[in-house]
Protein backbone atom coordinates (compact mmCIF):
# COMPACT_ATOMS: atom_id res chain seq x y z
CA UNK A 1 0.00 0.00 0.00
CA UNK A 2 2.94 2.34 0.62
CA UNK A 3 4.20 1.62 -2.90
CA UNK A 4 0.80 2.59 -4.29
CA UNK A 5 1.18 6.04 -2.74
CA UNK A 6 4.61 6.31 -4.38
CA UNK A 7 3.08 5.72 -7.83
CA UNK A 8 0.25 8.21 -7.05
CA UNK A 9 -2.59 5.69 -7.06
CA UNK A 10 -5.82 7.26 -5.80
CA UNK A 11 -6.32 6.61 -2.08
CA UNK A 12 -9.97 5.53 -2.31
CA UNK A 13 -9.35 3.35 -5.37
CA UNK A 14 -6.42 1.59 -3.70
CA UNK A 15 -8.43 0.77 -0.58
CA UNK A 16 -11.47 -0.32 -2.63
CA UNK A 17 -9.49 -2.87 -4.64
CA UNK A 18 -7.67 -4.17 -1.59
CA UNK A 19 -10.97 -4.71 0.23
CA UNK A 20 -12.55 -6.35 -2.83
CA UNK A 21 -10.41 -9.50 -2.55
CA UNK A 22 -11.87 -10.73 0.75
CA UNK A 23 -15.58 -10.60 -0.23
CA UNK A 24 -14.83 -12.43 -3.48
CA UNK A 25 -13.06 -15.36 -1.80
CA UNK A 26 -15.00 -15.53 1.47
CA UNK A 27 -18.30 -14.72 -0.21
CA UNK A 28 -17.90 -17.72 -2.52
CA UNK A 29 -17.34 -20.01 0.46
CA UNK A 30 -20.27 -18.53 2.43
CA UNK A 31 -22.53 -18.92 -0.61
CA UNK A 32 -21.59 -22.61 -0.70
CA UNK A 33 -22.45 -22.87 2.99
CA UNK A 34 -25.83 -21.24 2.34
CA UNK A 35 -26.56 -23.69 -0.49
CA UNK A 36 -25.89 -26.51 1.96
CA UNK A 37 -28.43 -25.01 4.33
CA UNK A 38 -26.02 -23.53 6.88
CA UNK A 39 -26.99 -20.14 8.27
CA UNK A 40 -24.09 -17.71 8.54
CA UNK A 41 -25.70 -14.26 8.57
CA UNK A 42 -25.69 -12.73 12.10
CA UNK A 43 -28.87 -11.60 13.83
CA UNK A 44 -30.27 -8.17 12.97
CA UNK A 45 -28.66 -6.12 15.75
CA UNK A 46 -25.29 -7.84 15.38
CA UNK A 47 -25.43 -7.46 11.61
CA UNK A 48 -26.22 -3.75 11.87
CA UNK A 49 -23.36 -3.15 14.31
CA UNK A 50 -20.82 -4.93 12.09
CA UNK A 51 -21.93 -3.04 8.98
CA UNK A 52 -21.91 0.31 10.77
CA UNK A 53 -18.44 -0.18 12.27
CA UNK A 54 -17.21 -1.66 8.98
CA UNK A 55 -18.24 1.48 7.10
CA UNK A 56 -16.57 3.64 9.75
CA UNK A 57 -13.41 1.58 9.38
CA UNK A 58 -13.24 2.19 5.65
CA UNK A 59 -13.62 5.98 5.84
CA UNK A 60 -11.94 6.87 9.16
CA UNK A 61 -9.56 3.93 9.21
CA UNK A 62 -8.30 2.52 5.93
CA UNK A 63 -8.55 5.74 3.92
CA UNK A 64 -6.84 7.75 6.68
CA UNK A 65 -3.96 5.28 6.88
CA UNK A 66 -3.51 5.20 3.12
CA UNK A 67 -3.42 9.00 2.96
CA UNK A 68 -1.03 9.19 5.91
CA UNK A 69 1.35 6.75 4.19
CA UNK A 70 1.73 9.19 1.33
CA UNK A 71 2.48 12.13 3.64
CA UNK A 72 4.71 10.84 6.47
CA UNK A 73 5.59 7.35 5.26
CA UNK A 74 5.45 3.81 6.57
CA UNK A 75 7.89 4.20 9.48
CA UNK A 76 5.76 6.91 11.12
CA UNK A 77 2.21 5.91 10.12
CA UNK A 78 2.22 2.32 11.40
CA UNK A 79 3.67 3.00 14.90
CA UNK A 80 1.33 5.98 15.34
CA UNK A 81 -1.64 3.88 14.28
CA UNK A 82 -0.81 0.98 16.58
CA UNK A 83 0.01 3.21 19.53
CA UNK A 84 -3.51 4.65 19.32
CA UNK A 85 -5.01 1.25 18.55
CA UNK A 86 -3.56 -0.45 21.63
CA UNK A 87 -4.39 2.48 23.89
CA UNK A 88 -7.95 2.69 22.58
CA UNK A 89 -8.33 -1.07 22.73
CA UNK A 90 -7.39 -1.15 26.40
CA UNK A 91 -9.96 1.55 27.22
CA UNK A 92 -12.78 0.11 25.09
CA UNK A 93 -12.09 -3.46 26.24
CA UNK A 94 -12.20 -2.33 29.86
CA UNK A 95 -15.29 -0.10 29.65
CA UNK A 96 -17.43 -1.99 27.12
CA UNK A 97 -16.37 -5.64 27.40
CA UNK A 98 -15.35 -5.60 31.06
CA UNK A 99 -11.90 -7.05 30.32
CA UNK A 100 -9.37 -6.79 33.11
CA UNK A 101 -6.44 -4.45 32.61
CA UNK A 102 -3.39 -5.00 34.83
CA UNK A 103 -1.18 -2.30 36.28
CA UNK A 104 1.60 -3.49 34.00
CA UNK A 105 -0.61 -3.03 30.94
CA UNK A 106 -1.55 0.47 32.08
CA UNK A 107 2.17 1.32 32.26
CA UNK A 108 2.63 -0.08 28.75
CA UNK A 109 -0.25 2.04 27.45
CA UNK A 110 1.42 5.14 28.96
CA UNK A 111 4.60 4.26 27.06
CA UNK A 112 2.62 3.98 23.85
CA UNK A 113 1.11 7.42 24.39
CA UNK A 114 4.64 8.77 24.86
CA UNK A 115 5.72 7.08 21.64
CA UNK A 116 2.96 8.92 19.76
CA UNK A 117 4.40 12.25 20.89
CA UNK A 118 7.89 11.26 19.73
CA UNK A 119 6.58 10.03 16.39
CA UNK A 120 4.75 13.34 15.93
CA UNK A 121 8.07 15.16 16.30
CA UNK A 122 9.83 12.73 13.96
CA UNK A 123 7.11 13.03 11.35
CA UNK A 124 8.38 16.41 10.16
CA UNK A 125 11.63 14.99 8.77
CA UNK A 126 9.84 12.02 7.22
CA UNK A 127 7.22 14.25 5.62
CA UNK A 128 9.85 16.66 4.31
CA UNK A 129 11.75 13.78 2.71
CA UNK A 130 8.63 12.51 0.94
CA UNK A 131 7.66 16.01 -0.20
CA UNK A 132 11.12 16.65 -1.65
CA UNK A 133 11.06 13.30 -3.46
CA UNK A 134 7.79 14.34 -5.12
CA UNK A 135 9.06 17.88 -5.84
CA UNK A 136 6.40 19.61 -3.74
CA UNK A 137 6.68 22.16 -0.94
CA UNK A 138 6.81 20.54 2.55
CA UNK A 139 3.78 21.43 4.68
CA UNK A 140 4.31 21.03 8.47
CA UNK A 141 0.57 21.28 9.19
CA UNK A 142 -0.12 18.51 6.68
CA UNK A 143 2.45 16.30 8.42
CA UNK A 144 0.85 16.84 11.82
CA UNK A 145 -2.56 16.06 10.33
CA UNK A 146 -1.15 12.86 8.80
CA UNK A 147 0.03 11.64 12.23
CA UNK A 148 -3.37 12.62 13.68
CA UNK A 149 -5.09 10.71 10.86
CA UNK A 150 -3.03 7.60 11.66
CA UNK A 151 -3.97 7.99 15.33
CA UNK A 152 -7.65 8.36 14.43
CA UNK A 153 -7.42 5.22 12.32
CA UNK A 154 -5.85 3.37 15.25
CA UNK A 155 -8.70 4.43 17.55
CA UNK A 156 -11.27 3.25 15.00
CA UNK A 157 -9.43 -0.06 14.59
CA UNK A 158 -9.57 -0.46 18.38
CA UNK A 159 -13.35 -0.11 18.20
CA UNK A 160 -13.45 -2.68 15.41
CA UNK A 161 -11.38 -5.10 17.53
CA UNK A 162 -13.89 -4.79 20.38
CA UNK A 163 -16.85 -5.32 18.05
CA UNK A 164 -15.17 -8.35 16.47
CA UNK A 165 -14.39 -9.91 19.87
CA UNK A 166 -17.96 -9.37 20.98
CA UNK A 167 -19.24 -11.00 17.78
CA UNK A 168 -16.95 -14.02 17.51
CA UNK A 169 -17.28 -14.92 21.19
CA UNK A 170 -21.00 -15.11 20.49
CA UNK A 171 -22.65 -16.90 17.57
CA UNK A 172 -21.00 -15.12 14.62
CA UNK A 173 -18.31 -16.98 12.66
CA UNK A 174 -14.94 -15.36 11.87
CA UNK A 175 -15.59 -15.80 8.13
CA UNK A 176 -18.89 -13.90 8.37
CA UNK A 177 -17.20 -11.04 10.24
CA UNK A 178 -14.38 -10.78 7.68
CA UNK A 179 -16.88 -10.84 4.80
CA UNK A 180 -19.19 -8.17 6.20
CA UNK A 181 -16.48 -5.74 7.28
CA UNK A 182 -14.61 -5.86 3.97
CA UNK A 183 -17.86 -5.79 2.00
CA UNK A 184 -18.57 -2.34 3.45
CA UNK A 185 -15.37 -1.15 1.76
CA UNK A 186 -16.59 -2.37 -1.61
CA UNK A 187 -20.13 -1.01 -1.27
CA UNK A 188 -19.12 2.23 0.43
CA UNK A 189 -16.01 3.21 -1.52
CA UNK A 190 -16.99 1.96 -4.99
CA UNK A 191 -19.46 4.79 -5.73
CA UNK A 192 -17.02 7.33 -4.26
CA UNK A 193 -14.31 6.19 -6.69
CA UNK A 194 -16.64 6.45 -9.69
CA UNK A 195 -17.86 9.89 -8.60
CA UNK A 196 -14.36 11.28 -7.98
CA UNK A 197 -12.48 9.82 -10.95
CA UNK A 198 -15.05 8.49 -13.43
CA UNK A 199 -15.37 4.93 -14.73
CA UNK A 200 -13.13 5.58 -17.74
CA UNK A 201 -10.22 6.80 -15.60
CA UNK A 202 -10.57 3.83 -13.23
CA UNK A 203 -10.38 1.36 -16.10
CA UNK A 204 -7.19 3.04 -17.31
CA UNK A 205 -5.38 2.13 -14.08
CA UNK A 206 -1.99 0.57 -14.98
CA UNK A 207 -1.77 -3.21 -14.66
CA UNK A 208 1.14 -2.87 -12.25
CA UNK A 209 -1.08 -0.96 -9.82
CA UNK A 210 -3.82 -3.59 -10.07
CA UNK A 211 -1.25 -6.27 -9.24
CA UNK A 212 -0.13 -4.33 -6.17
CA UNK A 213 -3.71 -3.84 -5.01
CA UNK A 214 -4.63 -7.49 -5.46
CA UNK A 215 -1.48 -8.59 -3.64
CA UNK A 216 -2.33 -6.21 -0.79
CA UNK A 217 -5.85 -7.66 -0.74
CA UNK A 218 -4.59 -11.23 -0.41
CA UNK A 219 -2.24 -10.27 2.43
CA UNK A 220 -5.06 -8.29 4.05
CA UNK A 221 -7.40 -11.27 3.84
CA UNK A 222 -4.95 -13.66 5.50
CA UNK A 223 -3.99 -11.15 8.20
CA UNK A 224 -7.59 -10.13 8.95
CA UNK A 225 -8.73 -13.74 9.37
CA UNK A 226 -5.76 -14.41 11.65
CA UNK A 227 -6.61 -11.34 13.76
CA UNK A 228 -10.27 -12.34 14.04
CA UNK A 229 -9.33 -15.85 15.21
CA UNK A 230 -6.90 -14.27 17.68
CA UNK A 231 -9.65 -12.03 19.08
CA UNK A 232 -11.78 -15.13 19.50
CA UNK A 233 -9.16 -16.56 21.88
CA UNK A 234 -7.75 -13.62 23.84
CA UNK A 235 -8.51 -10.10 25.06
CA UNK A 236 -8.59 -7.03 22.84
CA UNK A 237 -5.54 -5.38 24.41
CA UNK A 238 -3.42 -8.54 24.13
CA UNK A 239 -4.47 -9.36 20.57
CA UNK A 240 -3.73 -5.79 19.46
CA UNK A 241 -0.36 -5.86 21.22
CA UNK A 242 0.72 -9.04 19.44
CA UNK A 243 -0.65 -7.70 16.16
CA UNK A 244 1.49 -4.59 16.62
CA UNK A 245 4.67 -6.62 16.25
CA UNK A 246 4.64 -5.28 12.70
CA UNK A 247 5.70 -1.87 14.04
CA UNK A 248 9.38 -2.80 13.89
CA UNK A 249 8.94 -4.39 10.47
CA UNK A 250 7.19 -1.28 9.14
CA UNK A 251 9.94 0.99 10.44
CA UNK A 252 12.67 -1.10 8.84
CA UNK A 253 10.73 -1.44 5.57
CA UNK A 254 10.09 2.29 5.42
CA UNK A 255 13.76 3.13 5.84
CA UNK A 256 15.12 0.29 3.69
CA UNK A 257 12.64 0.25 0.80
CA UNK A 258 11.44 3.86 0.61
CA UNK A 259 14.47 5.78 1.94
CA UNK A 260 12.46 7.25 4.83
CA UNK A 261 14.93 9.13 7.09
CA UNK A 262 15.89 7.34 10.37
CA UNK A 263 15.75 10.41 12.62
CA UNK A 264 16.50 10.25 16.35
CA UNK A 265 12.88 11.07 17.25
CA UNK A 266 11.55 8.42 14.89
CA UNK A 267 13.88 5.75 16.25
CA UNK A 268 13.05 6.68 19.84
CA UNK A 269 9.34 6.61 19.08
CA UNK A 270 9.54 3.22 17.39
CA UNK A 271 11.69 1.79 20.21
CA UNK A 272 9.26 3.06 22.85
CA UNK A 273 6.36 1.59 20.87
CA UNK A 274 8.07 -1.80 20.69
CA UNK A 275 8.96 -1.71 24.40
CA UNK A 276 5.37 -0.82 25.28
CA UNK A 277 4.11 -3.73 23.18
CA UNK A 278 6.51 -6.18 24.84
CA UNK A 279 5.67 -4.83 28.31
CA UNK A 280 1.94 -5.56 27.99
CA UNK A 281 1.37 -8.82 29.83
CA UNK A 282 -0.69 -11.77 28.70
CA UNK A 283 -4.12 -12.21 30.29
CA UNK A 284 -2.99 -15.34 32.15
CA UNK A 285 0.03 -13.48 33.55
CA UNK A 286 -1.85 -10.40 34.70
CA UNK A 287 -1.08 -9.27 38.22
CA UNK A 288 -2.50 -6.47 40.34
CA UNK A 289 -5.58 -6.56 38.15
CA UNK A 290 -8.38 -4.03 38.26
CA UNK A 291 -11.68 -5.92 38.55
CA UNK A 292 -14.26 -5.20 35.90
CA UNK A 293 -17.18 -2.96 36.90
Domain count, the chain: 1
In this prediction the pTM is: 0.80
pLDDT digits (tens, 9 = 90+) for 222-239: 989 998 988 888 778 777
Residue 39, SS3 per DSSP: coil
**Least confident among 15-29, 68-82, 122-136:** 122-136
User: Which residues have CB under 8 Å from 266's CB, separation 6+?
Assistant: 75, 76, 118, 119, 122, 123, 125, 126, 251
Does the structure show a pLDDT above 50 at 287? no
Expressed as residue numbers, the domain containing 25 is 12-32+44-290
The mean pLDDT of the chain is 83
Tell me whether residue 84 is in a domain: yes
pLDDT confidence tier of residue 210, bands split at 50, 70 and 90: very high
pLDDT confidence tier of residue 216, bands split at 50, 70 and 90: very high
Tell me whether residue 5 is in a domain: no
Tell me whether residue 109 is in a domain: yes
pLDDT of residue 29: 92
Going 221 to 154 to 230 to 50, the CA torsion angle's sign is: negative
pLDDT of residue 181: 93
Tell me whether residue 37 is in a domain: no
Does the structure show a pLDDT above 60 at 241? yes
Tell me whether residue 38 is in a domain: no
Amino acid sequence: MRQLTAVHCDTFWAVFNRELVAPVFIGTWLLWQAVRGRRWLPAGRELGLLLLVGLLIQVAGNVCVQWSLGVVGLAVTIPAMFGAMITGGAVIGRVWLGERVSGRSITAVAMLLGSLALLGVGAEAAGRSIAEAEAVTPNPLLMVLAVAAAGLAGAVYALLSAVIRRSVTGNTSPAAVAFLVTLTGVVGLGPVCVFRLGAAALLETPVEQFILMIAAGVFNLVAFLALIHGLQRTTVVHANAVNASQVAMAAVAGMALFAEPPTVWLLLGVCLTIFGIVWIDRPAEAVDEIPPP
